[in-house]
Amino acid sequence: MQINDFPHGLPFMKMHGLGNDFVVIDSRGREAVTTPALARAVGSRHFGVGFDQLAEIRDGDGSDITLDFWNSDGTRAQACGNATRCVAAHVLAEGGDSITIRTARGLLQARREGDQISVNMGPPQLDWHEVPLARAVDVKHLPLAGDPVAVGMGNPHCVFFVDDAEAVPLMQRGPEVEKDPLFPEQVNVEFAQVRSRDEIRMRVWERGTGVTLACGSGACATAVAAALRGLTERRVRMELDGGWLTLDWRDDGVWMTGPTAHVFDGVLPAAITGA
């Protein structure tokens, strides 16, 4: 089935994890339908549905399911932690306590933890951390520079430690760093304030989307950066604009735990999908 096979509309779910909001299309048993143009049309908060990311579920590939992620500007993302948790909650509602999810980042495991969902986002890519920052002779040109930490979680993140996360002008600093030539594929930008050895306040500017209320892969990258710097333990609680996550950097990867919500179901009309 392709997009033209949905002249009466393409079903979707609206979900969020800490206000990081998603349109989820379940394409199990058929071909994937998302294109950059569809993602942009559905992603518009005024002319479409609006989302931070679109997640499309496909048949498993040596896994229970496969997941593709799109940003609202129509670009692809290799990882999206909060959407992974939301989709896991949806699939786990069909039965079972644990699933495997194939993503561009690799094979992830998600499981139920009481009324929350945990996902192992995999080991951080610290070679990515070394490459771009080592290549830069001087990163002090970055706004708020003072030694940011670059961490890959399948997707690229640049974490700045600041005294007061609330005071950071995200709308100005975010895009300046996101589009800095230091990051040829652009970058997600986190501003983190360490409150104690097990608590961090973090705010985020996402590549391809902008300010969001939370970013799961960004939370993982921030926890790794803080532990690498010796500022925190490897297990922390993190307050984002939309709520709280728990991050635990273990030998098998960075586990992220938090709430998910299924807000409503809808149908995308042909006027938006182009069917």
Ligand X SMILES: N[C@@H](CCC[C@H](N)C(=O)O)C(=O)O
Write out the catalytic residue numbers.
Answer: 80, 215
Give the residue with the Cβ less far from ligand X, 3 or 256.
256
Give the residue with the Cβ less far from ligand X, 103 or 232.
103
Q: Which residues are annotated as a binding site for substrate?
A: 20, 53, 71, 81-82, 155, 188, 206-207, 216-217
Give the residue with the Cβ less far from ligand X, 3 or 119.
119
CB 68, min distance to ligand X, A: 12
- Measured CA to CA in angstroms, residue 130 lies from 3, 122, 148, 225 at distances of 42, 18, 12, 12
CB 210, min distance to ligand X, A: 9
Q: Which residues of 185-208 are buried (b: 16+ CB within 10 A; e: fewer)?
A: ebbbbbbbbbeeeeebbbbbbbbb
Placement of tokens 């104690």 in the chain: 196
Phi and psi angles of residue 173, each rounded to the nearest 5 degrees, phi first: -70, -40
Whole-angstrom distance, CA of residue 155 vs CA of residue 78 = 6
Tell me the residue ranges of DSSP E strands in the chain: 10-17, 20-26, 53-59, 65-71, 76-77, 98-103, 106-113, 116-120, 149-152, 156-161, 188-196, 199-206, 210-212, 235-240, 243-250, 253-258, 261-268
CB 216, min distance to ligand X, A: 3
Whole-angstrom distance, CA of residue 137 vs CA of residue 53 = 34
Strand-strand pairing, 253-258 and 116-120: antiparallel
Q: Which residues are annotated as a binding site?
A: 20, 53, 71, 81-82, 155, 188, 206-207, 216-217
Residues lying near ligand X in the complex (CB under 6 A) are found at: 20, 52-53, 71, 77, 79-82, 155, 188, 206-209, 212, 215-217
Give the residue with the Cβ less far from ligand X, 6 or 69.
69
Give the residue with the Cβ less far from ligand X, 158 or 275.
158
CB 221, min distance to ligand X, A: 9
CB 69, min distance to ligand X, A: 6
> CA angle, 72 as apex, 206 and 186 as ends, to 5°?
40
**What are the structure tokens assigned to 108, written together?**
């992830």
